[in-house]
Chains A and B, each alone.
Chain A
C-alpha cells in the first residue's frame, strides 16, 4: 500500500529523514514510534504530500505520489492530527462532510454518510449542529476521525490522534479504532510516542530514531528480538535485570 524508497528529507537545513526504506502492506495497522524528533510525523506527511522528500520516492498504491495530483491523492487518504484541526466555523456535520463536499457527493448521500459515521463513532445525534468549541476533547477527536473516514478511504493516516486525551477517553477511542480497522480492513498508519498504544494496536511497529529506521516487526518480534541495544533501551527491556536465582 505504501512504500518508502530510500527517502531523504531536509527541513530548515536539518536532516529529518535519512535514507529510509519502509513497506506497509494493505490492511496493516502500522505504528510509527520513536522519541520526539525521530521524524515520525514527517514520514507520515510525505505520504499525502504535505511534505515532499528531497531524495528517494514515496509510493501509494504502487504509484509514486509525486505523479499524483495532491488534492486528489489527499481526498483518497484519511488524515487525523492531534489537535484535530476541526474547522471552527463549521458544525459537526459540516466538518464530517468535508471530503464528500469536495468530491461533490449529492446532498442525500452526504447526510446518510454523516449519520452513519456519527453512529459509528458514538457521537450523539444532538451534536450534529454543534460547533467544535462546544464539544469535549474526546468528542472533537471523534469528529476528527469521522471526518477522515467520511469518503471511505482505503488508507488512514493518524498523527498522534489520542495524545491529548485523558486515559479513559483514549482507551475507548483506541478500542473503537481497532474495531473499525478489523471490520473495514483499511490500512492504517499511526504515529505515536506511546509504547503501550503501539504494542496493543499495531500489527507492525516501525521504530524510528534520528530519521532512521531502527527496526520493523510485529510487537512480539520487537520485544523478543530487539535488533540493537537502542531498540531494547527504547522498549525499556534493559531495565529488567534478571537476577540468577540459586537454590
Chain B
C-alpha cells in the first residue's frame, strides 16, 4: 500500500478516473469560476464516453503506425530494401512537417467527416518517431553480435527475431512512447473533423467562447498523456530488465 502511494502512475490513474467520473461534481466550482457562462459544464457527452472514444482512436492509429513504422524500418535495413532507406527516412520526415490540421483538412474531402480521417492523419503523423527509433535501435547492434549470431547458424529471420528486434526493443519502445503521447495530444484536434474525442469540449469551447469547456477537455487530455507516458516508462523498464540485472 505504501508502495502504491509513492507510485506516480497510481496517482495519475486515480486522478484521471476521478476527473472523468466526477467532473459533474465540479459544476458549482466552474460556475463560480465563470459566472458569465450559462453552461459551465460540458454535458453533450459523458466524459467517460469521450475518454473511451479518444483512447480508441489513439490506440488504433498508434497500432497502425507501430506496425507500419517498424515494418518499414526493418524492410529498409534488409539487403533488398537498403537502397530505399534514404527515401523512406526523408518522406517520413517531411510528413512530420505537415501540421496535423492540414492533414485532417486534406483527408476530409477524400474520406469524409468523422473518425476515419482522424485515424489516417494520426497514423501518418505517428509514423516518424517509430521509424526513426527502430532504425536507431537496429543500427546500434554491435557488429560482433551479428557476426556471432550468423556464425552460430541463425538464418536472417532468426537473427531478426531473436537478436536484432529484442536488442532494439528499448529504443523502439521509446519511439512508440513519444509517438503515442504526441498522438494523444493530436487526437484532440481531430474533433475539428467531427471525430468525438476529449478534444470535443476544447473545440466547442474555443468556438463558443466557453473557457470552462476548454479547461475540462484540456485537463483530461493532459492527464491522459501523463498516465500513458508513465505506463510506457514501466514497460520500458521491463524491456531492458537484462541491462540492469
Contact = CB atoms under 8 A, between A and B. Distances in A.
A239 interface: no
B144 A74 contact: no
B208 interface: no
A232 B155 CA distance: 44
A73 B151 CA distance: 9
A186 to B, nearest CB: 17
Interface string A68-94: 001111110001010111111110000
B147 A98 contact: no
B144 A83 contact: yes
Contact of B152 (A72, A84, A102, A134): A102
A89 B171 CA distance: 14
Given A50-B147, A84-B144, A131 B245 contact: yes
B145 interface: yes
Nearest to B166: A89
Contact of B153 (A75, A133, A144): A75
Interface in A85-111: 85-90, 98-99, 102
Contacts of B162: 87
B219 interface: no
B239 to A, nearest CB: 10
A5 B64 CA distance: 53
Interface residues of B, number: 21
Given A81-B144, A131-B245, A98 B152 contact: yes
Contact of B149 (A72, A83, A87, A133): A87
A74 B148 CA distance: 10
Contact of B148 (A86, A131, A133, A134): A86
Nearest to B158: A102
A48 B162 CA distance: 21
Interface in B129-149: 142, 144-149
Contacts of B146: 85
A89 B147 CA distance: 16
Contacts of A70: 153
B229 to A, nearest CB: 25
Contacts of A79: 148, 151-152
B14 interface: no
B242 interface: yes
Interface in B35-58: none
Interface residues of A, number: 27
Contacts of B243: 88, 133
Given A83-B144, A84-B144, A87-B163, A74 B242 contact: no
B105 interface: no
Contacts of A71: 153-155
Contact of B144 (A85, A89, A90, A102): A85
Interface centre among B148, B155, B163, B245 (most CB of A within 10 A): B148
B167 interface: yes
A70 B151 CA distance: 9
Given A88-B167, A88-B242, A89-B242, A102 B154 contact: yes
Interface centre among B142, B145, B166, B167 (most CB of A within 10 A): B145
Contacts of B153: 70-75, 99, 102
Given A48-B151, A74-B151, A79-B151, A131 B144 contact: no
A75 B155 CA distance: 11
Interface in A34-53: 48, 50
A133 B149 CA distance: 17
B186 to A, nearest CB: 33
A72 B152 CA distance: 9
A90 B163 CA distance: 9
Contact of A85 (B147, B158, B167): B147
A190 B245 CA distance: 34
Nearest to B240: A89
30 contacts: A70-B153, A71-B153, A72-B153, A74-B150, A74-B153, A75-B152, A75-B153, A81-B148, A83-B144, A84-B144, A85-B142, A85-B146, A85-B148, A85-B151, A87-B145, A87-B148, A87-B149, A87-B162, A87-B163, A89-B167, A89-B242, A90-B242, A98-B152, A99-B153, A102-B152, A102-B153, A102-B154, A102-B158, A133-B243, A147-B152
Q: Closest 8 A-B residue pairs measured CB to CB?
A: A85-B148, A75-B153, A74-B153, A79-B151, A85-B144, A83-B144, A71-B153, A89-B242
Given A74-B153, A133-B243, 8 more contacts: A72-B153, A84-B148, A85-B145, A85-B149, A87-B148, A87-B162, A88-B243, A134-B245
